[in-house]
Amino acid sequence: MGSIAFSGGGTGGHLAIVKAVMEQVNSPMVYIGSTKGQDRDWFENEKRFKSRYFLETTGVMDKGGVKKIASLFNILKRVKEAREILKKEDVKVLFSVGGFSAAPAAIAAITLNIPLVIHEQNAYSGNLNRVLKPFAKAFISSYEKNDITMAYPTKEIYFKSARVRERIKTILIMGGSQGSVALNRFALEIAPLLKEKNIKIYHQAGVKNVDEVKEGYKELGVEAEVFGFSNNMAQIINEADFAISRAGASTLWEMVANGLPALFVPYPYAANDHQYYNAKFLADKELGWVVREKELNKKLLEDILDKDLSSISKELIRLAKPNGARDIAKYLEKFV
């Protein structure tokens, strides 16, 4: 029996898609990733893959001059390795989520006439996905119509626990597990206002920043649940009535699925400014707010805090479509 290959990653946003889809697949699977980034952390010991390969790949677009040329030559070398892997594992279809980890296997699949299926997480496509889109058998995006699914592969728990928010009684400030200095600073700036309005605070400050942020709240006399990383994010998101957050695709769609409105503050150094376009997708539908980090201000939040969010929350739940991972898995299994 042939197998389905998964490739791509580097970051948790990419890898979360691989994990969500592979959990819905019943056919034999292999993973082809990189020694760089987070690929090994996620999948080196994942037994549901019958084989796991990590190639010596590096990014290209963030390099300059000689280093960019060296990276391109390195990818070509890894394409040869990936071709051998695809043939050895009798791969019938390759599912790519983008990122530099995906380049060798995706290019190898094209040269071997193996169907390439691309998932694009962001509203603005990544460099590799844009280049390879014309060669793909299918290009899956939650931001544009396609025949397979527009449903983002979000964990089922966010749909099951979805609820309509009305007034803001609990707020979640979320800068990711690495934290955000700008969001941490803003959180402490608005903390007295939130205390005055009796709004409970959850704050993901980043693993390295927890102690400093806790001390900041203590000095202000404000109570807050401060943490760096949590395995319980689904419950925390569900308890919140509003979020101030970065706009990574997985986080954004988890909040959409749960009906949680947000003020998005895109990470300013994200590739191709993709976090801004993710947030703008919702803001253009009047289903959220987006502000550049340097323009973040207390007045903007004051205008939101007293709003009735029920209509926005209801529309977010309507926008979210369940079973994205299952739909993608069913499509991939047709090739095996």
Partners of 53 in beta bridges: 32
Other C-beta atoms closer than 10 Å to the C-beta of 308 total 11
Q: Residues 102, 220: one domain?
A: no
Q: What is residue 71's predicted lDDT score, i.e. its pLDDT?
A: 62
Q: Residues 39, 130: one domain?
A: yes
Q: What is residue 63's predicted lDDT score, i.e. its pLDDT?
A: 46
Residues 256/319, Cβ–Cβ less than 8 Å = yes
Tens of pLDDT, residue by residue over 62-96, are 545 555 555 666 677 889 999 999 999 999 999 99
CATH of the domain at 116: 3.40.50.2000
Q: Residues 137, 171: one domain?
A: no
Q: What is residue 11's predicted lDDT score, i.e. its pLDDT?
A: 77
Q: Residues 135, 42: one domain?
A: yes
Q: What is residue 9's predicted lDDT score, i.e. its pLDDT?
A: 81
| Domain housing 48 | 3-153+322-333
Which stretches of the chain score pLDDT less than 50? 63
- CA angle centred on 201, ends 176 and 320, rounded to 5°: 60
Q: How many domains does the chain have?
A: 2
Q: What is residue 56's predicted lDDT score, i.e. its pLDDT?
A: 86
Q: Which of 11, 8, 3, 309 is nearest to 178 (CA)?
A: 11
Q: Residues 241, 192: one domain?
A: yes
Q: Residues 235, 130: one domain?
A: no
User: Which residues are within 8 A (CB) of 249 and not within 5 positions of it... i.e. 6 or more apart?
Assistant: 13, 121, 122, 152, 274, 278
User: Measured between alpha carbons, how far is 64 from 50 in angstroms, rounded to an integer?
Assistant: 37
Q: Residues 171, 91: one domain?
A: no
Residues 335/115, Cβ–Cβ less than 8 Å = yes
Q: Residues 277, 171: one domain?
A: yes
